[in-house]
Amino acid sequence: MDNNWAGLVPRAVRRDLERARYVLAHDQRLTAERREALAGHVRWMLRLVATGDAQLAAAVRRTAEAASAVGACHEGTPRRDAVVAITELCDLLDRRRVVAATAALPTVARQVHWLVDGMSAADCEHITRALVPSRRKPLLRPLAVAYRRRKQLLWGTSHAPDVLPALAG
């Protein structure tokens, strides 16, 4: 694993945008609880993206609006709109070197399980050691259990992509 710390958050955001797109496009029955959780997770992730230009800011705004519509409605149209918005945003993120919004970094540091999801065991250990102070290590186990529950709610048993996307160069 390289030490591209600035790339950890965009990579995790991109991974979960792919997962959300997959779930919205392929999972036929989404409960209200799951739709609301997906919408909230997508909106949270979008706050982590530094929107440095108008095109990216507009794509983030469209994706946030589409996610909110998914959370509020059980019909198919908002889901299709969200898939289109996420696809457009992912295309933009693929073409740009997007970094995490600076104000979001303290929040993300507390989300180490989210950051390392899908990484190799060695990379997980390396990042966890770097981000979590020794005195906080005992808190990791209950946080891991909570993260696994949240992950199950969001992604369920779908075959949503579990690979980390490469960063744009």
User: Count of CB atoms within 10 A of residue 29's CB?
Assistant: 7
CA quadruple 137, 143, 147, 148: dihedral positive or negative? Answer: positive
Q: How far apart are CA 11 and CA 31, in angstroms?
A: 28
109, pLDDT greater than 90: no
Q: What's the mean pLDDT in 38-59? A: 90
pLDDT for 158 equals 65
pTM (whole model) above 0.85: no
